[in-house]
Amino acid sequence: MKKRFLLKTTAALVAACTLGLAQAQSTPIKFQLDWRFEGPSALFLTPVAKGYFKEAKLDVTVDAGNGSGGAVTRVASGSYDIGFADLAALMEFHANNPDVPNKPVAIMMVYNNTPASVMALKKSGIKTPADLAGKKLGAPVFDAGRRAFPIFQKANNIGNVAWTAMDPPLRETMLVRGDVDAITGFTFTSLLNIEARGVKADDVVVMQYPDFGVKLYGNAIIASPKIIKENPAAVKAFLAAFTKGAKDVIANPAAAIADVKARDGIINVALETRRLQLAIDTVINSASAREEGFGQIKGPRLSLMASQVSDAFNTKTRVKADDIWNGSFLPTSKELDILPKPKK
């Protein structure tokens, strides 16, 4: 009996040590989303749920966010190792904080096109960008579409507009109520929110920035200089695991929403599935994304965006494209080949 007890005790100790060793070998990574848990966050929640990060010896925790600006700031502060943010917000942070030592850099492009759009109700009579001149537009002050509107305005020769600021939950309500003539917002966010307020999609005019001469990149994965310097292998492993998960999400968005539901039980599954599919169709598996390659960028396009953001955002210093991008951790071209061909 005593011998059996000792054997069991020894076995338990060995198991505990083995588990502790395995946990010790996993690199903890705090990841900051740009927004709350919605359809597109499946891109990061699915590789967690399927164990892809764990297989890569990474212990990744994913937290909801409240805007790209906040994601950039939190990664810069060291509170988070890696994050997801609008590239324009990252550029603005760099140009307005030239002396800050720990400026994050983009390491992988996810939204090859900005998701920003101008949206109006058809009954307003607004049909084209030119019709926006003299109209009242609404958006939160930090909205990516509002911040980049001067670029859209210049590309389409739009006259002066008046802006009304509001909190994000009121944006679509104020449009439907007629308090503003049009709004800016991410297409896959605001369009579905307008529908949720009783307006049919066919009754909404959607002017997506990329369709009207604005070739800005959208959201990218960003990383702190600290983790890049101290653990480049973990950064590379993170992107490889993320890419594996993204392939699954793009192939089966409906299944991926279960991983979002697991994190936020009150989401509307049907709505968030549509939101994810809309994000895939408009900014992830877009024509330009297939041309440039998932996760990658084109130097001239990045440089043009840097110049446009410097002007539109009136930054303290000019944005330097080379300072905000580091593509050296990207998976191989074969691994990045995850975008399906468009359906004919």
Assess contact for 144 and 313: CB atoms under 8 A. no
- Rounded to 5 degrees, φ, ψ at 64 are -65, 160
pLDDT in tens, 6-47: 555 555 555 555 445 444 589 999 999 999 999 999 999 999
The pLDDT tens digits for 301-325 are: 999 999 999 999 999 999 999 999 9
pLDDT (tens digit, 9 = 90+) per residue, 78-111?
999 999 999 999 999 999 999 999 999 999 999 9
Please report the DSSP string for 172-225 in residue order: HHHHHHTSSSEEEEEHHHHHHHHHHTT--GGGEEEEEGGGGT-----EEEEE-H
Domains of the chain and any CATH numbers: 26-113+217-336 (3.40.190.10), 116-212 (3.40.190.10)
The model carries a pTM of 0.90
What pLDDT does 4 receive? Answer: 57
Specify the pLDDT at position 21: 46
Note the pLDDT tens digit of each residue in 226-245.
Answer: 999 999 999 999 999 999 99
